[in-house]
Amino acid sequence: MLPGRFLVDLPSQVTIRIRGFRKARRTGQFVASAPITTAGAQAIAAPLIFVFSPPENIKAIAASGTTCMIDPGGSPFLTLPVGASLAPGAHVDVKLRLSNPDGDPIQLLYQQVFSGPGFH
């Protein structure tokens, strides 16, 4: 048995809007902005992570880590820079950077925000 707690899934407490990916000429990476906004009337306590899953041949660049206790396992995640909490109606703008050597269309297969200290 592993010690500690699991993270809390926040499907109805946040909205995630990923703006279209574009290729950065200088780096060749595909980049997008993903504003994450609280949808409820209460603040969401930190730490917060954004878990996403690109198609198999597309890899995340500069992710904070990969999941092992959140399905799908091995998904990249980004720790959100929110201080102690994300206030009601507030948003944090996340920058996604992906390596896409085949130039395939990018559609994330999974995207979710989790809260609290615990296993990823």
CATH number at residue 27: 2.60.40.290
Question: Is the preceding peptide bond at 47 cis, omega within 30 degrees of 0?
Answer: yes
Structure tokens at 61: 């660049």
**pTM for the complete prediction?**
0.88
Has residue 100 been placed in a domain?
Answer: yes
Has residue 18 been placed in a domain?
Answer: yes
Type of residue found at 57: N
Has residue 85 been placed in a domain?
Answer: yes
Q: Provide the number of structural domains found in the chain.
A: 1
Q: How confident is the model at residue 1 (pLDDT cuts 50, 70, 90)?
A: very low
**Residue 9: pLDDT above 80?**
no
> What's the confidence (pLDDT) of residue 2?
47
Domain hosting residue 48, numbered range: 13-115
Residue range 59-105, pLDDT digits in tens: 999 999 999 888 888 999 999 999 999 999 999 999 999 999 998 99
Has residue 2 been placed in a domain?
Answer: no
Looking at per-residue confidence, does 53 or 6 come out higher? 53
* Mean pLDDT of the region 111-116: 90
Has residue 120 been placed in a domain?
Answer: no
